[in-house]
């Protein structure tokens, strides 16, 4: 009888389906100083043994490289900047930085955890491909915002802070 139980348990383990990896998607909208506008697509995230896969499926972005980050707050709302003017997406706060690193070093560095690989928009404004964020998991995205910046990202705080990406042009809420 003991042999049958062990054999049954072994067979059950051999044919068991693997646990589903955590996945989430976020709708991304253009943003301006009045709030969220037109939806420009979705970004899909999934846990893997190498970190988080990021699949942007967007349209309508300016061609070229864009800073791409998980921000600390679950908001895409505009907020007043230091000069008193409304700033698009400022309600999302800064880059997600639970360890208080206080620096920008890109997705593989030891800086902000919310630093994603730079997003490249094709000449027609669309995005494709798969990016990797090796230090993130789907669980880290809960109650956060995804922000796309106007310019590229050099993964440094020099010569401009936060990779030099500039203004926030698109946002989604997890």
Which domain CATH number covers 111? 2.60.40.200
Cα 141 to Cα 34: distance, rounded to the nearest angstrom = 25
Which of 82, 74, 85 has its CA nearest to residue 141?
74
Which of 114, 106, 133, 111 has its CA nearest to residue 47?
133
- Written as tens digits, the pLDDT of the chain (174 aa) is 544 444 444 444 444 444 557 999 999 999 999 999 999 999 999 999 999 999 999 999 999 999 999 999 999 999 999 999 999 999 999 999 999 998 889 899 999 999 999 999 999 999 999 999 999 999 999 999 999 999 988 787 777 676 668 899 999 999
In a domain, 1, yes or no: no
In a domain, 159, yes or no: yes
In a domain, 10, yes or no: no
- Chain length of the chain: 174
In a domain, 34, yes or no: yes
In a domain, 166, yes or no: yes
Beta bridge partners of 64: 121
Quickly list DSSP for the chain. -HHHHHHHHHHHHHHPPPPPPPEEEEEEEEEETTEEEEEEEEEEEEEETTEEEEEEEE-SPPSEEE-EEEESSS----EE-TTSSEETTGGG-SB--TT---S---TTSSS-TTBPPPEEE-TTS---S-EEETT--GGGGTT-EEEEESS---SSSSSSGGGG--SEEEEEE-
Alpha carbon 134 to chain centroid, angstroms: 12
- What pTM was computed for the model? 0.85
Per the structure, how many domains does the chain have?
A: 1
Domain that holds residue 165: 21-173
């Amino acid at each position: 009888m003991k042999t049958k139980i062990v054999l049954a348990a072994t067979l059950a383990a051999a044919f068991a389906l693997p646990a589903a990896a955590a996945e989430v998607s976020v709708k991304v909208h253009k943003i301006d100083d009045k709030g969220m506008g037109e939806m420009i697509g979705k970004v899909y995230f999934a846990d893997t043994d190498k970190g988080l896969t990021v699949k942007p499926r967007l349209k309508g972005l300016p061609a070229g490289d864009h800073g791409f980050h998980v921000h600390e707050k679950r908001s895409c709302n505009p907020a007043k900047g230091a000069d008193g003017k409304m700033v698009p997406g400022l309600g999302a706060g800064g880059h997600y930085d639970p360890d208080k690193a206080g620096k920008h070093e890109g997705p593989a560095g030891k800086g902000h955890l919310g630093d994603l690989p730079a997003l490249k928009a094709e000449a027609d404004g669309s995005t494709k491909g798969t990016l990797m964020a090796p230090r993130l998991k789907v669980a880290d995205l809960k109650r956060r915002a995804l922000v796309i910046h106007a310019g590229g990202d050099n993964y440094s705080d020099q010569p401009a802070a936060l990779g030099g990406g500039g203004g926030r042009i698109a946002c989604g809420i997890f």
